[in-house]
Structure 1
Amino acid sequence: MTHIDIRNDDLSGDATRALIALHLEGMHATSPPESVHALDVDRLTDPAVSFWSAWIDGELAGIGALKEFGEGRGELKSMRVDERFLGAGVGRAILRHIMDAARSRGLTSLWLETGSPAEFVPAQRLYESEGFIRCGPFGDYTDDPFSVYMTREL
């Protein structure tokens, strides 16, 4: 099995910034602008956000973030796997790392928004396989045909 090294990331590296940019481009390619909720680098540096990167053999394989929003709740943000590493377990490793971090901080539930178009079905299946269930909009989100909302108790 491939070793995936997950690190706290300060978002200063070129590889990390490039994958965030690719993530944003992908979101805008599949959803109208008002339905894109991905965070850019500046918003990912908010103190309420923790950001991690996953590495395989010195190559950036994926990214993910946790945004804490009070009352024991957190939101998964910016989950993205580099296309070269799809199917290698990177997304699941990042997701589990974020869930563990959330538990260690005393959070009791995680929430997420992902897309509804076909391109997002693999992400939806990953989240469902880790115990996330569909729910309605949360926080500042509203009903949106391009969004799927999910939550999970920790």
Structure 2
Amino acid sequence: MSSHAPLQITVDDLSGPDIAALLTQHLADMYAHSPEDSVHALDLDELRKPEITFWAARDGGTLVGCTALKELDPTHGEIKSMRTATDYTGRGIAATLLTHLISEARARGYARLSLETGTSDFFAPAVRLYQRHSFDFCGPFAGYTEDPHSIFMTLEL
């Protein structure tokens, strides 16, 4: 991140070409590292559903990451589409986005925040990030089923 201003995290309407490009890359990576029936990433139309809030992270005007929060019920949220732009990995963007999501989940009064991610080495940095933020491994939730290609994690708020 540049030193001139802090990362700007704002709700995004998913209409910009930079968001579309980042999510296209995100989906391509998910399909490259997990079997098709084990990919749970959402496309642009699915991310526009009313139970989902989507945030873009920008450094100046440059899109550097994104994430989404899906309300499963009034006490439980799910992290979706956590992604850092390829040229910006390793700079703390994902940690900043995750801290933002945890704060938002608490502000909404959720008792729990959960997620699904993959099991291949590609997903190891994400699992480590969630563990550093006190997420614990759990079983499937919200209609997911046991899958050797999925890891489920949750954080009691």
- The residue identity in structure 2 corresponding to 1:100 is S
Structure 2 counterpart of 1:133: 136
Whole-angstrom CA distance in 1 between matches of 2:127 and 2:56: 20
CA RMSD of aligned residues (A): 1.0
Structure 1 counterpart of 2:86: 83
Structure 2 counterpart of 1:66: 69
4+ aligned runs moved over 2 Å, structure 1: none
The alpha-carbon deviation at position 71 of structure 1 amounts to 4.2
1:97 to 2:100 alignment? yes
The secondary structure found in structure 2 opposite 1:111 is strand
- The residue identity in structure 1 corresponding to 2:141 is F
Structure 1: tracts of 5 or more residues without a match: none
Cα deviation digits, residues 50-88 of structure 1 (max 9, x gap): 000101121100010000011400000000000111011
Question: What is the count of residue pairs matched by the alignment?
Answer: 154
- The residue identity in structure 1 corresponding to 2:118 is G
- The residue identity in structure 1 corresponding to 2:49 is D
Whole-angstrom CA distance in 1 between matches of 2:114 and 2:69: 10
Cα deviation digits, residues 81-139 of structure 1 (max 9, x gap): 00111011100111111111111111111000000000000000000000100011111
Whole-angstrom CA distance in 2 between matches of 1:56 and 1:88: 11
Q: Please, which of 4, 12, 16 is the counterpart of residue 13 of structure 1? A: 16
Q: Please, which of 24, 30, 33 is the counterpart of residue 30 of structure 1? A: 33
- The residue identity in structure 2 corresponding to 1:128 is Q
> TM-score scaled to structure 1, two decimals?
0.97
> TM-score scaled to structure 2, two decimals?
0.96
Whole-angstrom CA distance in 1 between matches of 2:139 and 2:32: 24
Q: What percent identity do the matched residue pairs reach?
A: 47
- The residue identity in structure 1 corresponding to 2:86 is E
The secondary structure found in structure 2 opposite 1:11 is coil
Whole-angstrom CA distance in 2 between matches of 1:126 and 1:24: 20
Structure 2 counterpart of 1:142: 145
Structure 2 counterpart of 1:153: 156
Structure 2 counterpart of 1:109: 112
The secondary structure found in structure 2 opposite 1:46 is coil
The secondary structure found in structure 1 opposite 2:9 is strand
Whole-angstrom CA distance in 1 between matches of 2:49 and 2:60: 29
Structure 2 counterpart of 1:57: 60
Whole-angstrom CA distance in 2 between matches of 1:77 and 1:60: 17
